Amino acid sequence: MKRTNYIIANWKMNGTEKSISVIKSIQKYVLRKRISVSKIVICPPFTILGSFIKKTHKTISFGAQDTHYEDLGAFTGSISSLMLKSLGVKYVIVGHSERRQYQNESVSELSKKINSTLSKNLKVIFCIGEKFNEINKRSSILKKQLSSLPKKFSNKNIIIAYEPVWAIGTGKTPTLKQINNIHKTIRKMIHRKIGKEALKISIIYGGSVNSNNSKDILALSDVDGALVG
C-alpha cells in the first residue's frame, strides 16, 4: 500500500532569524527539482517558527518540537498546541528521546500531549525508540511507548518516528535489515491497535541519518521517510 513519505528536519536548539537563508535554499531546491515524492517538514525553535511560516512557500511545512497538553495556564516556558496552530504550524513532535530523558516525560503525559495536539487538528510526529541497554527488550519498550497513542487514529493525524536512542548523534545505526524488520514489527503492533488502518500509517526512521546512508535507508520497503537532526 502506498504511504506518504516524509523528510522531517528537527533543528533542536539551533537557528536564528538569519537561518531563513537555509529555508530559502531548501525551498529553491525543491521547486527547481520539482520534488513531490516526499513531504518536507522543518521543525525549528519556537522563536522563529511564526516568522519562517510567513516567509516560506507552501512547498515546505513547519512543525514544532514539543507542546504542552493544556491550552492556557500557569506553565512558565511552555507553549500549547492552540498557540502553535495560531502560528500556522501543521505538525508537532511528541515524545522525542531527549524530552523523555531530560524532562522525564511519562506515557500518560505524552498521551495528554498527543490528545491535545490532535484536538487542534495538528499532525503528531510521535517518536519511539530504545536505549542501547534495552535492545534485548526492544519489543516491550516500543509496545509501552506506543501505548501513549489513542485507541483510534489514522495516517491523517499520526506519523511514527522510530529513533533508536543509541543511534542519535553517534554515527551508529542498525543494519538496513534490522531497520526494515523493526519497522515491520512496529506496524504489527499498531495493527493490533487500529486494524487495517495501520497499513496506511507512515513510519519514518531517525538516528544518524546522513548523506552516506540516507538513500539506502529510504529505499527500504517499510521505511516511509526520515527524521533528521
Amino acid identity of residue 216, one-letter, is D
Query: What's the whole-number mean pLDDT along residues 178-183?
Result: 98
What confidence score (pLDDT) does residue 36 get? 60
What confidence score (pLDDT) does residue 217 get? 96
Alpha carbon distance 15, 48 (integer Å) = 8
Least confident residue range of 25-34, 60-69, 129-138, 143-152: 25-34
Kindly report the length of the chain. 229
What confidence score (pLDDT) does residue 161 get? 99
Query: What's the whole-number mean pLDDT along residues 190-216?
Result: 95
Amino acid identity of residue 91, one-letter, is Y
Residue 32: pLDDT band by 50, 70, 90 thresholds? confident
Query: What's the whole-number mean pLDDT along residues 92-116?
Result: 97
What confidence score (pLDDT) does residue 34 get? 60
Annotated active-site residue in 68, 96, 98, 109: 96
Alpha carbon distance 196, 171 (integer Å) = 35
Q: Taking a C-beta distance cutoff of 8 angstroms, is the pair 185, 228 a contact?
A: no
pLDDT digits (tens, 9 = 90+) for 68-84: 999 999 999 999 999 99
Cα–Cα separations (whole angstroms), residue 46 to 18, 58, 79, 83, 197: 15, 19, 8, 11, 32
Residue 151: is it exposed, middle or buried by C-beta count within 10 angstroms (0-12/13-18/19+)? Answer: exposed
For residue 1 the three cell numbers come to 500500500
* Residue 98 is a catalytic residue: no
At residue 33, does pLDDT exceed 70? no
Least confident residue range of 25-34, 113-122, 208-217: 25-34
* Residue 96 is a catalytic residue: yes
Q: Which contacts of 217-223 are long-range, i.e. CB under 8 A and separated by 24 or more positions? A: 217/173, 217/176, 217/179, 218/5, 220/176, 220/179, 220/180, 220/183, 221/180, 222/180, 222/183, 222/184, 222/187, 223/179, 223/180, 223/183
Annotated active-site residue in 98, 105, 109, 163: 163
Q: Taking a C-beta distance cutoff of 8 angstroms, is the pair 162, 186 a contact?
A: yes
Residue 35: pLDDT band by 50, 70, 90 thresholds? low
Domains and CATH numbers, the chain: 5-228 (3.20.20.70)
